């Protein structure tokens, strides 16, 4: 019998986890010297690591005591699943109201890696409908809810996304270049509304809007998915008004709820 060698650890990732585990048991925090001695990390390497973690708020630094403790970003990550469930509970009645307003299917989406994930839906009563299902994933650049999320993304993250994403021709209308996406995102920021014109599903027009939520939530959006044969200027105007109204109410309810969490 042979014993398999464990896969080699990525040193930088290993060190980050070591720092988290060490500080989790040090409520009063530890100094740079104490962390270096405890973990055996060279001080030069540790300095860069700690500065990055403080900048991203995974660690907090007390200038007076010169100590590091776990930061707010760690808690936000651990709390995020519960916040997403609360968001779904808050948004679901408004999705039903959106669909009732114009009788078209609507959805709540969240950022999931490089995709937009459907996490709540309401379905039109028309015979010809777009079926949005919980758990559905779609490329951010191809759907209205995903584009709304991209338009609201910080510039450094957006640049990284555009530089590392492989743009696939989902349909003949899909935008296939970073410059093309950037141009559309600029329009979305000006209008406050995102469109997907048969770019993910042939025959379906998407109209989406981003949600401005507290940092503990992932980036999220609302959208309608409407068969192109039913899209008129009047219906688009109604859809945009309904989305803006729902956005305002959901954001207000979420912000109010956060005050009591």
Model pLDDT, residue 260:
56
Cα 23–chain centre separation:
28
Give CATH 1.10.10.10 domain extents, the chain: 11-70
Q: Furthest-apart CA pair in the chain: how many Å?
A: 73
Element containing residue 247 per DSSP (H, E): helix 233-258
Task: For the chain, give every residue range classified as CATH 3.30.450.40.
Answer: 78-258
Q: What pLDDT is stored for residue 216 in this prediction? A: 84
What confidence score (pLDDT) does residue 209 get?
98
Q: What is the DSSP string of 202-239?
A: TTEEEEEEEE---TTSPPEEEEEEEEGGG--HHHHHHH
Query: If we measure between CA atoms, which residue out of 83, 49, 84 comes closest to residue 68?
Result: 49
Contact predicate 175/167, CB 8 Å: yes
Residue 112, helix vs strand vs coil: strand
C-alpha–C-alpha distance, residues 261 and 186, integer Å: 35
Buried b or exposed e, range 104-126, using 16+ CB within 10 angstroms? bbbbbbbbbeebbbbbbbbbbee
Report how far residue 159's alpha carbon sits from residue 259's, in angstroms, rounded to the nearest whole number: 33
Give the class (CATH, top level) of 11-70. mainly alpha
Please name the helix (run of DSSP H) or strand (run of DSSP E) that holds residue 120, with its range, or none: strand 115-122
DSSP, residue by residue, 151-209: HTS-HHHHHHHHHH-----SSTT---SHHHHHHHHHHHHHHS-EEEESSSSTTEEEEEE
Task: Look at residue 261 in the predicted model and tell me its pLDDT.
Answer: 55
The tens place of each residue's pLDDT in the chain, 261 residues long, gives 444 444 545 678 888 888 988 888 887 889 999 999 888 889 888 999 999 999 988 899 999 999 999 888 887 777 778 888 999 999 999 999 999 999 999 999 999 988 999 999 999 999 999 889 999 999 999 999 999 999 999 998 999 999 999 999 999 999 999 999 999 999 999 999 999 999 999 999 999 999 999 988 989 999 999 999 999 999 999 999 999 999 999 999 998 877 655
CA-only gyration radius of the chain, Å: 22
Query: Which has the closest alpha carbon to 42: 67, 12, 10?
Result: 12
CA 159, 165, 170, 174 torsion: positive or negative?
Answer: positive
CATH 3.30.450.40 corresponds to the domain 78-258: yes
Which pLDDT score, from 0 to 100, does residue 259 have? 61
């Amino acid at each position: 019998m042979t014993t398999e060698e464990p896969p080699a650890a990525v040193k930088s990732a290993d060190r980050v986890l070591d720092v988290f585990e060490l500080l989790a048991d040090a409520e009063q925090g530890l100094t740079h010297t104490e962390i270096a001695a405890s973990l055996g990390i060279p001080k030069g390497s540790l300095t860069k690591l700690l500065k990055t973690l403080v900048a991203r708020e995974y660690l907090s630094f007390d200038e007076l005591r010169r100590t590091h403790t776990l930061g707010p970003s760690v808690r936000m990550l651990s709390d995020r699943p519960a916040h997403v469930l609360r968001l779904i509970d808050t948004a679901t009645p408004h999705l039903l109201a959106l669909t009732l307003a114009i009788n078209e299917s609507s959805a709540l989406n969240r950022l999931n890696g490089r995709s937009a994930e459907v996490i709540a839906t309401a379905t039109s009563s028309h015979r010809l409908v777009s079926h949005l299902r919980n758990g559905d994933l779609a490329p951010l650049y191809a759907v209205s809810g995903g584009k709304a999320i991209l338009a609201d993304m910080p510039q450094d993250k957006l640049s990284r996304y555009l530089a590392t994403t492989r743009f696939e021709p989902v349909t003949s209308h899909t935008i296939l270049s970073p410059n093309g996406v950037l141009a559309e995102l600029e329009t979305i920021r000006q209008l406050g509304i995102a469109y997907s014109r048969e770019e993910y599903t042939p025959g379906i027009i998407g109209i989406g809007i981003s949600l401005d939520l507290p940092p503990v939530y992932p980036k999220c959006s609302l959208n309608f998915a409407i068969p192109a044969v039913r899209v008129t200027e009047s219906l688009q105007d109604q859809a945009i008004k309904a989305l803006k109204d729902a956005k305002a109410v959901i954001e207000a309810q979420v912000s109010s709820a956060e005050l009591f969490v």
